[in-house]
Structure formats: structure tokens, C-alpha cells
Amino acid sequence: MPKAAPKSTEFETILLEKPTPEISRIVLNRPKTRNAQSYRLLYELNDAFDIAAQDADTKVIVLAANGPHFSSGHDLGDADQDAALAEFQTIGTWCGFDCAGAEAQMSKEKELYIGLSERWRNIPKPTIAEVHGKVISGGLMLVWPCDLIVCADNTMFSDNTVGLGVGGVEYFHHPWEMNLRKAKEMLFTCDWIDAAEAEKLGMVNHVVPLDELTGFTQALAEKIAQKPAFALKLVKEALNGSQDAQGRQSAMQQAFALHQLAHTHNMNVHGMLVDPSGIQLPGLAARRKERDGQQ
């Protein structure tokens, strides 16, 4: 059977390492932006996951990050979006990225957010997120698809998107990461969840000192890698299937549609995808003044 051409291992925004033959380590490498997720980073991350998944020797995949924080979320100032969409092979069939109205935004988020995150969640090999510093909103869409989460004791999680006038549910995994009442509190208040509370909620597997994070994660990966690869694939399939049997996929699709409604509402009322009267982010005030000046 002919094989597709291998993906390049040369990346601008991530690193792909092999600390041992059985373990692939992917590292987010935009420390100056606190690993903000540009479209290029997301597609390069997807390519790296593909390479690791298709590597016969790799049994476990670790996702880590350089710099003081794991991820500051979506890169709201990404000027490379169109170039990345043109350069990389899309993973879904929605496309329509240049269409008018709500179709373009929904198509992009269907592809790059819920589409990629679901794809990573279903990689048939165990994945471990090695997390430190802050993980904000879109950063959760990188962490939550992983099977296990090990975090440093300085880790802080937040989803502040309700404060921006959207549902925060591009990847609606909140009720499966913690109990429903805590998920509601996280979204309603936009408050931080620290590492200790995240462990208590069952959202992370282990909390370790920052200087022990990489070593602890590597040891955990090596322990898992001692198991037969096919058995690991099968048990992951069974565990993910148990979540899906509870209606996870249907709930996520409904939440994603409501999230798009919020974007459309904000575009109609405020002229931008978010509500500038909520949490203030860099650039929002200037964009609102520019919009008001044009009316």
C-alpha cells in the first residue's frame, strides 16, 4: 500500500524531541507570546502529533511548553492566519474560510479548535500534558484532550471567555473535567483554579514541584511505555468510548453552536467577536474606539 509523503519535522513554533525511542515529546515554543496559539502553531502541533502517532516506536506522547507559562490561549493578534490556512492541509471538510457572514468564523473554529482538539483526544496512543504556569481559555483546548495531566505546583487554570461575552465552549469539556457545579463556577466567575484545587477536582493526575516536573512526567511516560502498545490503544479506545456513551459529543456540538451564536451577536452589536464591555484585553479598547469612529 502506498504511503503518504512524510510530514516535515522542521517547525517554527514547536519542537519535536525523542528523549527515548518509546517516547515522543512535543514542546510549544513561542515563549515570547506565552505560547499563544496562532493558526501556525496549531497546525504544526497537529503535524507533530501525526508524526508521533505514526511512529512505530513511540508508545507515549508528552506535550510540554517552553517559557514561564504553558499557554496564554488564542493569539488574538495572529497576522499569519490566512498564510497558515493556505499552507497546511485542512483536517476537516467544512472549509468555507473566506465565506461571508458567520460562516467563515464558524468554519475556522470548527477546523482549528474543536476539530483539532477532538482529533488529538482520539490519538490511539497515551498522551500526557506536562503543564506549568498559566493555562488560559484556549490553552485548556491543548491540555484537556490529553489522557493524563501532570502539573507543576505553580500552575493556574482559567477560562475567562464568559467575561468576553462568549460561552467559552469551543471545546466544551468542562463538565467532564470536574463536577458540574465547579464547571459552572469556573465559567460564571472566570476565577482561577490553582494546581491543588485542580488535583482535588480530578482535573489533573499529579502536582509536583516545578523543578521536578519534567523528570516526573518522563518517569510516568516510561512506566506506561513498558506496557504492550496494542493493549494501550484498546484501553484508551474503551475509556474514551465510555465518555462518549454519556452524550459527550452531542453536548459539545450543541455548546459549540451556542458559542457561534455569541460571536454573531457580538459582531452585530459591538462590531467584533467579543463584548468589549467585559474583561478588557490588550487591543479591545482601541478596536472599539476605531469602530465607534467609523459609525
Q: What is the pLDDT of residues 83-130, one digit of tens each?
A: 999 999 999 998 889 999 899 999 999 999 999 999 999 999 999 999
Report, as an integer, the average pLDDT of 237-266: 95
Kindly tell me if the per-residue pLDDT of 136 is higher than 50: yes
DSSP 8-state code for residue 13: S
Task: Give the pLDDT confidence of 45-59 residue by residue, as tens digits.
Answer: 999 999 999 999 999
Q: What is the pLDDT of residue 4?
A: 53
Q: What is the pTM of this model?
A: 0.91
Percentage of the chain modeled with pLDDT above 70? 92
pLDDT greater than 90 at residue 162? yes
Residue 267: predicted pLDDT: 93
Q: Chain-centre distance of CA 162, in angstroms? A: 17
Residue 16 has pLDDT above 50, yes or no: yes
Residue 291: pLDDT band with limits 50, 70, 90: very low
φ, ψ of residue 147 in degrees (nearest 5): -75, -40
- Complete domains list, the chain, with CATH: 14-294 (3.90.226.10)
Q: How far apart are CA 263 and CA 168, in angstroms?
A: 11
At 157, list the grid cell. 487554570
Is the model's pLDDT at 1 over the cut of 50?
A: no
pLDDT tens profile 72-91: 999 988 888 989 999 999 99
What pLDDT sits at residue 148? 98
Whole-angstrom Cα distance, residue 140 to residue 257? Answer: 19
pLDDT surpassing 60 at residue 293: no
3-state secondary structure of 132: coil
The whole-angstrom separation of Cα 153 and Cα 98 is 43
Strands 193-194 and 134-136: unpaired
pLDDT given at position 241: 97
User: Which one-letter amino acid corresponds to residue 256?
Assistant: F
Res. 288 pLDDT band, cuts 50 70 90: very low
pLDDT in the model for residue 6: 56
H/E segment holding residue 10: none
pLDDT above 80: residue 68: yes
Lowest mean pLDDT among 101-105, 202-206, 291-295: 291-295
Mean pLDDT computed over 201-208: 98
Q: Which is more confidently placed, 212 or 94?
A: 212
For residue range 221-231, what is the model confidence (pLDDT) as tens digits?
999 999 999 99
